[in-house]
Amino acid sequence: MRTMIAALVGAWVSIAPTSAPEGPAWDLVSDAPTVSVFPERPVQGHLFRVRVAPSPGQPLAAVRGEAGGEVLRFAVDESGVYEAFGPAPIDTEGSLRVQLVAVDEGGGEEPITIDLEVVPGEYRHERLSVAPRLGGRLNDADAARLAEDQAKAAAVARQAHATPRLWTDERVMPREDRVTSGFGNGRIFNDEVSSRHLGLDLDGDPGDVVVAPSRGVVALVDSFLLAGNIVYLNHGGGLLSGYFHLSEALVAEGDTVAAGTPIGRVGATGRVTGPHLHWVVRVGTTSVDPRSWMTMPPAEGSGAGDD
């Protein structure tokens, strides 16, 4: 049975599918799980939250899903509700397809397809009249090192996908400081966006402490060519975060951190013009605006809010 819900969905209210293109499927609506998405219309480059609630007396054994090129990693709470974060990739135009499969206890599978309307992000673009040099050409040794760094970051993404959810709704900013460069701003050359700022820059003086925004495990402490001294945190459920240009790390790989645990100090290592924190948040390898995580309201009725 294929369930198609066009242009969804309420905030954290139950969603009765009001317009079902395939009528007969909804004759069984009392058996259908209830899907809710927050925000109803995600913004380009932001996280969104998907919840799948079983219908009464029809518990679910599992929920799988995919959106924006990433697998959605669902966790189940004590009331049998499944929940995952998904990314709306920054280059999404128009709508984003979310494909879910709800598995009942008998092993029966119900595919659910949702097309979310994606709101354009307000990103600033700098128009260039000469080709960007992308920080200068890399020599062969640097190019090889960059590829190595990227492979290590990709390994962290795989690890985050393979780890059960660790993040909770208790969150803090890694630094309470001024945003010096927002997420998603780009440069345009020949009408093409040639490069994007896929992190959030927070101001800081060398030595200022950076803390973990939420629960996780330290996945990588290293020194990268462009990013300098880095710490990557694996928050599980596909979610990871990275902290670049640090003067030093205050954690070691394998350490468990909670919201507020000091993990490093602001620095100016790697390719930077001055000290600041470049903070990245990703679902797998898809970068999202870290602020869309920090401002995500706790799930209603989940009891997950620790604050």
The contact set with Zn ion (CB under 5 A) reads 199, 201, 278
Closest distance of CB 234 from Zn ion, Å: 21
H or E element, residue 148: helix 140-162
The nearer residue to Zn ion, 175 or 215, going by C-beta atoms, is 175
Report the residue number, 41 or 196, with the smaller CB distance to Zn ion.
Answer: 196
- Report the residue number whose CB is nearest to Zn ion: 278
Between residues 270 and 284, which has the closer beta carbon with respect to Zn ion? Answer: 270
∠ CA 273-275-277, rounded to 5°: 110
Helix (H, G, I), strand (E, B) or coil at 116: strand
Structure tokens at 160: 């985050």
- Nearest-approach distance from CB 187 to Zn ion, in angstroms: 13
Q: In the complex, what is the shortest distance from the CB of residue 280 to Zn ion, in angstroms, rounded to a whole number?
A: 8
Q: Would you say 39 or 199 has its CB closer to Zn ion?
A: 199
- Please, what is the minimum distance in Å from the beta carbon of residue 200 to Zn ion? 7
Q: What CA–CA distance (Å, rounded) separates 285 from 68?
A: 11
- Which amino acid, 21? P
Write phi, then psi, for 21 (nearest 5 degrees).
-60, -30
Rg of the chain in Å (alpha carbons): 21
In the complex, minimum distance from the CB of residue 90 to Zn ion, in angstroms, rounded to a whole number: 15
- CB of 50 or CB of 198, closer to Zn ion: 198
Own/partner long-range contacts of 299-304 (Cβ < 8 Å, ≥24 apart): 299/12, 299/38, 299/49, 299/51, 299/83, 299/169, 300/12, 301/12, 301/79, 302/77, 302/79, 302/81, 302/83, 302/169, 303/77, 303/78, 304/77, 304/168, 304/169
Min dist. Cβ of residue 198 to Zn ion (A): 8
Closest CB 204 distance from Zn ion, rounded Å: 12
Rounded to whole angstroms, the Cα distance separating 32 from 216 reads 34
Given the complex with Zn ion, which of 174 and 199 has the nearer CB atom? 199
Residue with smaller CB distance to Zn ion, 70 or 201: 201
